[in-house]
Amino acid sequence: MSLKKINELATKLGSVNIMEVCGGHTNSIIRNGIRDAMPKNINLISGPGCPVCVTTQKEIDEMINLALNGVPVATYADMIRVPGTKMSLEEARENGADIKAVYSATEVLDDKNRVFFGIGFETTTPMTAKLLENDIAVYSAHKLIPPGLLALSTDKRVNIDALILPGHVAVIIGEQEFPDLNVPQVITGFEPENILESIKIILDQLVEGKKEIVNNYKGVVTKTGNGKAQKIINENFKVVDSDWRGLGTIPSSGLEPKDDNLNAKIKYKDILGKTITKELPGCRCAEVIIGQIRPSECQLFGKVCTPKNPRGACMVSEEGACQIYHANRN
């Protein structure tokens, strides 16, 4: 039903760029063929909500360097294939570094000597906070969605007419935490019907000239979010400025452990300080992440950069825009 309505509404609008912020949405959109079903003038753009994609080259290189210097490291399995300047964590492991790929941060709860490379947004942060509570050192690349959105909306390179807001993040932080960005924004779940409904709500708003934040994940997302999760984050982390791949440094958009003794960046300052980072020549992931170019506009795309041999982060993850485009190329 929504699809019919979307087609109708689209005829009343020019070209519309809707960004789905969350990698989970990108996944559902692709899995259900939603992108393919959109009218020609409705562009769904994958945003910076893929944790692997926004983690910077420097952060990855520092973790590789740490592991190669004999410090046992753990991180999410998704992360270990992302290429650093010289190699990926996976290649470092092949060279003898002790790197554990985990499904859940809690798998290293009893591993006091290991450094956990914490990545992701408000959804994965509570688990990392749990590790800090248990005196496990963390290298934090955790980022916060609301300041990220704010930076995105004020970035002159970005041209976005509306946002599909991440449902899982909203469960944690609550409806009230999303900043007003002067475009329609809809908090959305992950079922295809729910996503279509949200696109319809966005187009409705655009037709009527409205710019509201709507919660279309009712019953799951509340006004104030999950207090317990917020508490454990606040108790163990402090807000700091953070670098995002593609977006640069965003004020108050990252988290570091409150306890310096558990902050791997401080604890291993000497090793990390010697890390050499160089941006990969030719890689345009940064522009892809903010929707400035399409993956196929990158010269490396499909030639030297493929899912099997990724050169940039966006080609690694199943949610990465480049990998998705690669699969659907003709």
Partner 1 sequence: MEKIHLSQGAGGEEMNELVMKIIDKINIKSDWVLGGDSAHINIGSDNLFFTSDSYTVDPIFFNGGDIGKIAFCGTVNDILMSGGKPLGVSLSFVIEEGFEHLSKIIDSLKKESLKYNIPIVTGDTKVVEKGSLKGIIINTSGIGIGKPFNKEIVEGDSVIVSRNIGNHGVALLASRYDFETDIETDSKQLVEEVDSIRNYVKLAKDATRGGIAAVLNEISEKINIGMELIEEKIPIDKKVKKMCEILGVNIYELANEGTMIVIVSKDDEEKTLDELKKFNQTVSVMGTISKTEKNRVIIKTKIGRKVLRIPTGNIVPRIC
Phi, psi of 276 (to 5 degrees): -105, 125
The residue from 10, 119, 158, 163 that contacts partner 1 (CB under 8 A) is 119
User: Is 114 within 8 Å of 72 (Cβ atoms)?
Assistant: yes
The only residue of 121, 217, 244, 301 in contact with partner 1, by rule CB under 8 A: 121
C-beta of 103 vs 270, nearer to partner 1:
103
Indicate whether 196 belongs to the interface with partner 1 (CB under 8 A): yes
> Are the C-beta atoms of residues 131 and 116 closer than 8 Å to each other?
yes
Tokens at 204, concatenated: 């409705």
Note whether 7 binds partner 1 by CB under 8 A: no
Q: CA-to-CA distance for 55 and 43, rounded, in angstroms?
A: 25
Q: Is 18 one of the binding residues for partner 1 (CB under 8 A)?
A: no
Measured from the CB atom, is 36 or 270 closer to partner 1? 36
Question: Are 102 and 206 spatial neighbours (Cβ–Cβ below 8 Å)?
Answer: no
Stretch that binds partner 1, among 16-24, 57-65, 227-235, 297-305 (CB under 8 A): 16-24
Return the C-alpha torsion angle 56, 60, 65, 69, nearest 10: 140
43 lines the binding site for partner 1 (CB under 8 A): no
Stretches 75-83, 176-184, 208-216, 240-248: which one binds partner 1 (CB under 8 A)? 75-83
For residue 74, the number of C-alpha atoms closer than 13 Å in the C-beta half-sphere is 21
Q: Is 34 in the site for partner 1 (CB under 8 A)?
A: yes
Q: Which of 12, 77, 249, 303 binds partner 1 (CB under 8 A)?
A: 77
Cβ-in-10-Å burial (0-12, 13-18, 19+) of 276 comes to: exposed
Binding site for partner 1 (CB under 8 A): 3, 22-24, 27, 30-37, 49-52, 76-78, 81, 90, 94, 101, 103-104, 119-121, 123-124, 166, 168, 192, 196, 307-308, 316-319, 327-328
